Amino acid sequence: MPAETHVEGSPIGRPEILTLVKERLADILEIDVTEVGEGDSFADDLDADSLALIELVEAIEEELSERTVGFRFEDEDLEDLRTVRDAVDYVVSRLG
């Protein structure tokens, strides 16, 4: 019997992941969620430093660990996450 990879719950869609990323990022940066756009660059548009990105990754991992067993960002992939869209696309691809 294969190992269990999913926890009970409905599948997470891209819109829900986008909302999750925007809300967590807004909390970390102490800005209104409406100021976070999908195409925004973490560094250039949102002034997010590397610590803020680490906090974002940890928050997403924590949130998704309740829904998907063992969800993690791979360390070597973090440097490729430059925009909100990159982070959303990464999570979608890892969950898919």
- DSSP per residue over 59-96, as a string? HHHHHHHTTBTT----GGGGGG--BHHHHHHHHHHHH-
- pLDDT for residue 23: 98
pTM, two decimals, is 0.87
- At residue 5, the pLDDT reads 47
Highest CATH level, class, for 14-95? mainly alpha
Beta bridge partners of 68: 6
Report residue 75 as tokens.
Answer: 């360390």
Q: Is 49 a catalytic residue?
A: yes
pLDDT by position in tens, the chain (length 96): 344 444 445 678 999 999 999 999 999 999 999 999 999 999 999 999 999 999 999 999 999 987 787 889 999 999 999 999 999 999 999 988
Q: What is the pLDDT of residue 9?
A: 54
Q: Name which of 26, 62, 63, 61 is nearest 47 in CA terms.
A: 26
Q: How many CB atoms lie within 10 A of CB 85?
A: 16
DSSP state letter for 8: S
Out of 27, 44, 47, 49, pick the active-site residue.
49
